[in-house]
Amino acid sequence: MSETPTVAVFRPDDDRLERAAELLADLGAEPVPDPMLAVEATDAVPRTDSDYVVFTSKTGAELVSEAGWVPGDETVCAIGPATADALRAEGYAVDLVPEEFTSSGLVAALSDAVDGARVEVARSDHGSPVLLDGLADAGAYVHETILYRLVRPEGSGESAAMAAAGELDAACFTSSLTVDHFLEAAAQRSVREAALEGLTDAVVGVIGEPTAETAAERGIDVDLVASEATFDRLAAETVDAATDGE
């Protein structure tokens, strides 16, 4: 590893990618911003007949505001503090944030309360089935509204080329979809196998167990799962690991 490790980050190409790159630089890394997610809004809004409405991302919070969603008496739930902050910034009250910022954590927080209740899950088209299945198993009547689709941006894959050339020291994968899109971008550049080999010599950090499982299934060795499911913690722990590997 170099004194300033190169660290790939795959956030959507908006303020999140800019902030992530700044954070990595502040941590002493050389960021490689390589957006693997682009948002295509559906202009849908949550159903109005629910007892609970669940949001799982900052993007979802912003899109429902833009679409003019007006909540009623439902309990508004956010999967984590970033989503909760985004909802509040749009003027919405947040009633529940689980202690564990994951789909399973949200299920655990709601499982004793939703038997017989109508639960609306408003999110992207790539949401984990863990949330829907867990709420249904708890006795809820679950409906999912797709607020946006996540696609791979044209031109992505700089990090895959760097991995293939042995020039990438670390990578921060923030969802299963970023793993798949990284490999798609590598394949499009005809460097998939070389990129996978390059990642074996890099520190691979992931934001949670579902992402770790996807990476392992795709042949990527995961070095660490963030101790908290936030990008700040993922970035800090990945840079620490990359620096310790000098």
**Joined tokens for residue 191:** 């460097």
**Joined tokens for residue 226:** 């963030």
Provide the β-strand partners of residue 172: 9, 205
The phi, psi pair for 27, rounded to 5°, reads -85, 0
Average pLDDT over residues 198-214: 94
Separation of alpha carbons 189 and 179, rounded Å: 16
For residue 215, the 8-state DSSP code is H
So what's the pLDDT on residue 1?
47
For the entire predicted model, the pTM comes to 0.75
pLDDT single digits (tens) 57-100: 999 999 999 999 999 999 999 999 999 999 999 999 999 999 98
Looking from the CA of 143 toward its CB, the CA atoms found within 13 Å total: 14
Domains of the chain: 6-38+157-245 (3.40.50.10090), 42-150 (3.40.50.10090)
Residue 246 scores a pLDDT above 80: no
pLDDT single digits (tens) 1-46: 458 999 999 988 888 899 999 999 999 999 999 999 898 999 999 9
Q: What is the dihedral of CA 113, 117, 121, 122, to 10 degrees?
A: -110
Residues 7, 31 contacting (CB under 8 angstroms): yes
So what's the pLDDT on residue 241?
95
